[in-house]
């Protein structure tokens, strides 16, 4: 029976707006990630992370506003001078003062934001929509006059009035903004809301759409994917998802999602084998561990434990793996030291240990391992000693058998020699018999 090679997770052909096969990454580890509670970046650490992101292949790197602090400005200017392939952006408030400082730092583009929800307007900046619109137009025209890319984003888009959103987006679209940003700043959006909002906005503007999803309710990656289906092209990510509160779309998890849906695009564009190195660098810089259940790089992401799984994985890894660890320079691991193990997994371990045992013997060993696994947790050493002890016992039995066999043969052959010495004995016996 042949297995279909059609990808059931590929883009839906009826999503004519879909950018699943043509998205771009705006990595904001050096801006949103700086808002992570543990983050403290120096110029050196920002440079290292920027270079690693660039090597990985992200399309844009977003940095903290140069007006946030003197150090922030220095970091931005330093990274702009690195000559990275990725474009460098800075994220600023929607006012002329911030815009004037930003355009003089050597950036490729400016990401402008302002809150548009009732919450933001009442409790954050206190401005009404006509003020917001005027400020947006002024800043966009100024940044464009400097020949730089400009994105205009509405903070807390999902709790903003749809009429306000459409008014401001169509206004900035008309004056030539490069991208508009839809931001789920509080992380409350769900995939269906995302699909509907992005598609509605997409039908009203000609510019590109960038989306920014926080992960408070665990929907960030799903929301990002759905946004692409609905016509968004740019996704904001951070390494390990670090950001304000519990962060945003994690780059690694997003890659896991996208490599399944658009394997050719993702593998040709991003250096997936650099992911672990990049995550380790950021984890060390902000002093966290890579979570055990992280997609791709979590310590057990490619570990197979149950006997049934192990058997099928050994026959064909795709049976229980949607991601191929080799794409990320990683390897799979069959967890055989537990009571759920099966004899196929133990056989694979026996082969790794270079020991020669029959299938029946391996089944007997598996039984012993399972029995011990019922009593206490097992380590690889436990399993290896059971296998090795069994093997050496079996070898001893084999050796003893051989020795016995040899002794028997030796006895037989010495008996034969005696026969040769007394060649006439049978005749004598016959004679004796006949004489009786
Ligand atoms: Zn954010």
Do 138 and 230 belong together in one domain?
A: yes
Structural domain harbouring 118: 24-285
- Which regions in the chain score pLDDT beneath 70? 1, 120, 417-436
Residue 11 lies in a domain: no
Beta carbons of 195 and 226 less than 8 angstroms apart: yes
CA of 35 to the centre of ligand 1 (A): 9
Q: What is the pLDDT of residue 1?
A: 62
Compute the distance from residue 134 Cα to the ligand 1 centre, in Å.
24
Domain count across the chain: 3
**Does a structural domain hold residue 315?**
yes
Residues 62-97: tens digit of each pLDDT: 999 999 999 999 999 999 999 999 999 999 999 999
Residues 263 and 371 in one domain: no
One domain for residues 258 and 117:
yes
First-to-final CA distance of the chain: 80
Kindly report the number of other CB atoms within 10 A of residue 277's CB atom. 15
150 and 215 part of one domain: yes
pLDDT reported for residue 206: 97
The confidence score (pLDDT) of residue 436 equals 40
Q: Are residues 203 and 74 in the same domain?
A: yes
Domain membership of residue 14 (yes or no) is no
pLDDT attached to residue 435: 41
Q: Are residue 37 and residue 70 in the same domain, yes or no?
A: yes
Do 279 and 407 lie in a common domain? no
Decide if 208 contacts 235 (C-beta within 8 A): no
Q: Ligand 1 centroid vs 242 CA: distance in angstroms?
A: 10
Please tell me the distance between residue 32's alpha carbon and the centre of ligand 1 in angstroms: 6
CB 83 within 8 A of CB 102: no
90, 112: one domain: yes
Measure the CA–CA gap between 184 and 117, rounded to whole angstroms: 11
Compute, in angstroms, the gap from residue 121 CA to the centroid of ligand 1.
17
Q: Are residues 243 and 382 located together in one domain of the fold? A: no
The residues with which 91 forms a beta bridge, in sequence order, are 111
Looking at residue 312, which CATH number applies to its domain?
4.10.430.20
Cβ–Cβ < 8 Å for 257, 47: no
Give pTM, 2 decimals: 0.86
278 and 351 co-located in one domain: no
Residues 412 and 430 in one domain: yes
Q: Which residues are catalytic?
A: 309
Whether residue 145 is contained in a domain is answered as yes
Q: Is residue 1 part of a domain?
A: no
The pLDDT of residue 13 is 82
Residue 291 lies in a domain: no
Q: Flag whether 15 is in a domain.
A: no
CATH value at residue 434: 1.10.238
Answer whether residue 2 is part of any domain. no
- CATH for 224: 3.20.20.70
Claim to verify: residue 148 and residue 94 sit in the same structural domain: yes
């Amino acid at each position: 029976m042949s297995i279909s090679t059609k990808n059931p997770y590929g883009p839906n052909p009826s999503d004519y707006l879909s950018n699943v096969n043509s998205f771009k990454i705006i990595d904001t580890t050096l801006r949103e990630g700086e808002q992570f509670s543990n983050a403290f970046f120096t110029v050196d650490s920002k440079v290292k992370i920027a270079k690693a992101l660039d090597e990985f292949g992200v399309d844009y790197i977003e940095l903290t506003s140069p007006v946030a602090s003197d150090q922030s400005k220095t970091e931005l200017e330093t990274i702009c001078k690195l000559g990275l392939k990725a474009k460098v952006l800075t994220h600023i408030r929607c006012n002329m003062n911030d815009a004037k400082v930003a355009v003089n730092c050597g950036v490729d583009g400016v990401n402008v934001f302002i809150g548009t929800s009732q919450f933001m307007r009442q409790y954050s900046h206190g401005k009404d929509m006509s003020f917001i619109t005027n400020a947006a137009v002024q800043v966009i025209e100024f940044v464009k006059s400097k020949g730089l890319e400009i994105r205009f984003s509405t903070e807390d888009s999902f709790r903003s009035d749809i009429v306000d959103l459409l008014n401001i987006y169509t206004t900035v679209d008309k004056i030539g903004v490069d991208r508009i940003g839809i931001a789920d700043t509080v992380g409350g959006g769900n995939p269906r809301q995302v699909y509907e909002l992005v598609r509605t906005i997409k039908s009203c503007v000609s510019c590109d759409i960038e989306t920014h999803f926080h992960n408070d309710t665990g929907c960030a990656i799903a929301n990002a994917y759905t946004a692409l289906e609905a016509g968004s092209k740019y996704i904001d990510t951070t390494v390990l998802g670090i950001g304000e509160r519990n962060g945003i779309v994690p780059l690694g998890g997003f890659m896991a999602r996208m490599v399944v849906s658009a394997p050719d695009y993702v593998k040709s564009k991003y250096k997936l084998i650099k992911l672990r190195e990049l995550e380790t660098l950021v984890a060390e810089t902000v002093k966290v561990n890579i979570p055990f259940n992280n997609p791709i790089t979590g310590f057990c992401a490619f570990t197979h434990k149950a006997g049934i799984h192990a058997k099928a994985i050994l026959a064909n890894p795709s049976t229980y793996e949607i991601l191929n660890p080799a794409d990320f320079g990683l390897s799979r691991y069959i967890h055989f030291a537990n009571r759920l193990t099966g004899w196929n997994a133990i056989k694979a371990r026996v082969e790794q240990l270079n020991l020669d045992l029959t299938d029946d013997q391996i089944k007997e060993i598996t039984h012993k391992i399972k029995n011990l696994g019922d009593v206490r947790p097992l380590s690889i050493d436990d399993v290896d000693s059971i296998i090795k002890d069994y093997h050496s016992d079996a070898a001893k039995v084999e050796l003893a058998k051989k020795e016995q066999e040899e002794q028997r043969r030796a006895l037989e052959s010495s008996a034969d020699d005696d026969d040769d010495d007394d060649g006439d004995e049978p005749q004598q016996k016959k004679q004796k018999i006949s004489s009786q």
